[in-house]
Structure 1
Amino acid sequence: MAQITLRYIPFKTDVAFLQIKQTEVSGIPLYIIFFYIHVYSAIFVLLAGFTQFNSYLLKKRPTIHRNIGRLYVFTILFFSAPSGLFIGVFANGGFYSQISFVTLSILWFYFTLKGFTSIKNQNITQHKAFMMRSFALTFSAITLRLWKIILVNLFHPAPMDVYQIIAWLGWLPNLIIIEYYLYKQSKK
């Protein structure tokens, strides 16, 4: 993900993924701004999210857990999810891809907000469950790219077909796995 993000430094409008988004870049003035907000904030969210389930931090360094958690929540609620929503409206692959990315952004915002409000209300169990859901959606940045590599190398579908498929595969299986895990935990 760092390598992907570094392609967009310095700020350019015709590099990597943006090469196929020139209609949006030239026709929608805010697109490039929201795109870069999303790309630049995502790397921080991923790094912050990876630390939050570390048992050492949770038990021995709760202040670090809280501070990184606040960065994670703030970045998603004010940068990553809103910018994802905006660029999701213009996703490649048409209507089905757009619905997927818009839904992903809304759920990402909601789960993160619920995780934050749950801990403010001192409901640790609910906080953990919602933050796991949130990170499952954060992690879609990685799983989407993995699915793309798998699908392209195995099946060689048309590019827009790939977008329609990975738009859903990027996050839906992640969320199903977390829901299954939470269900199994509730039965213990």
Structure 2
Amino acid sequence: MIQITSKYTSLEKDVAFLQIKQTEVSQIPHYLTFFYIHVSCAIFALLAGFTQFNHYILTKQTIIHRNIGKMYVLIILFLAAPSGFVIGLYANGGFYSKIAFVLLSVLWFYFTLKGFIKIKNRNITAHKAFMIRSFALTFSAITLRMWKVILVYLFQPSPMDLYQIIAWLGWIPNLLIVEFYIIKKFQK
């Protein structure tokens, strides 16, 4: 993800994925701004999220957990999810892809906000469950790309068909897996 994200450090209008988004770049005011906000923030959300499940940090470095958690929440609620919503409105693959990415950003925002509210109310179990859901959606940045490689290798679908499929596969399996985990772990 760092390698993919680093391609955008030039802030060019036609680098990597943006090469196929030139209509949006040239015709949608602020599309490029929302795109760059999303790309630059999502990598920090991924890195922050990975630290939050470290047993040592959770039990011995609670101040670090709290501060990184606040950063994670702020990034998602104010930058990554809202910008993801906007660029989701212009997703490749048509109507079904747009629904997938918009729904992903709404759920990402919702789970993150609920996790934050739960910890403010000192409901640690609910906080953990919502933040696990939130990170499952954050992790979709990785699983989407993984599914893309697998599907292209196995089936060579057309680019727009592929995009419609990975728009959903990038996050639905993640959410199903963590829901199963949450049920097993927290609702004994």
TM-score, normalised via structure 1 length: 0.99
- The answer to whether the 8 Å contact 2:81/2:109 transfers is yes
Report the counterpart of residue 111 of structure 2 in structure 1: 111
Corresponding residue for residue 136 of structure 2: 136
In the TM superposition, what whole-angstrom CA distance separates every residue of 1:26-49 from its partner, at most 9, and x where no partner exists?
Answer: 000210000000000011000000
For the 8 Å contact 2:84–2:101, the answer to whether it is kept is yes
Alignment partners' CA distance in 1, 2:36 and 2:11 = 8
Q: How does 1:124-163 map to 2 (within 5 A)?
A: 124-163=124-163
Offset of 1:187 from its aligned partner?
4.4
Instruction: Give distance in 1, aligned partners of 2:153 and 2:113.
Output: 37
> How far apart, in 2, do the equivalents of 1:13 and 1:186 lie?
46
* Segments ≥4 residues shifted beyond 2 Å: none
Aligned to 1:69: 69
1:36-86 CA-partner distances (Å, limit 9, x unpaired) = 000000110000000001110011000000000000000000000000000
RMSD value, Cα: 0.6
1:172 counterpart letter in structure 2: I
The equivalent residue for 1:81 is: 81
What residue identity is the alignment partner of 1:162? Answer: L
- Post-superposition offset of 1:10: 1.1
Q: Which runs of 5+ in 2 are unaligned?
A: none
Partner Cα separation in structure 1 for residue 35 and residue 178 of structure 2: 28
Amino acid at match of 2:171: W
The amino acid of 2:151's aligned partner reads L
Distance 1:107 1:165 in 2: 19
Q: Does 1:7 align with 2:7?
A: yes
SS in 2 for 1:8: coil
Aligned partner of 1:31 in structure 2 is 31
1:60 and 1:172 map into 2 onto residues whose CA distance is 33
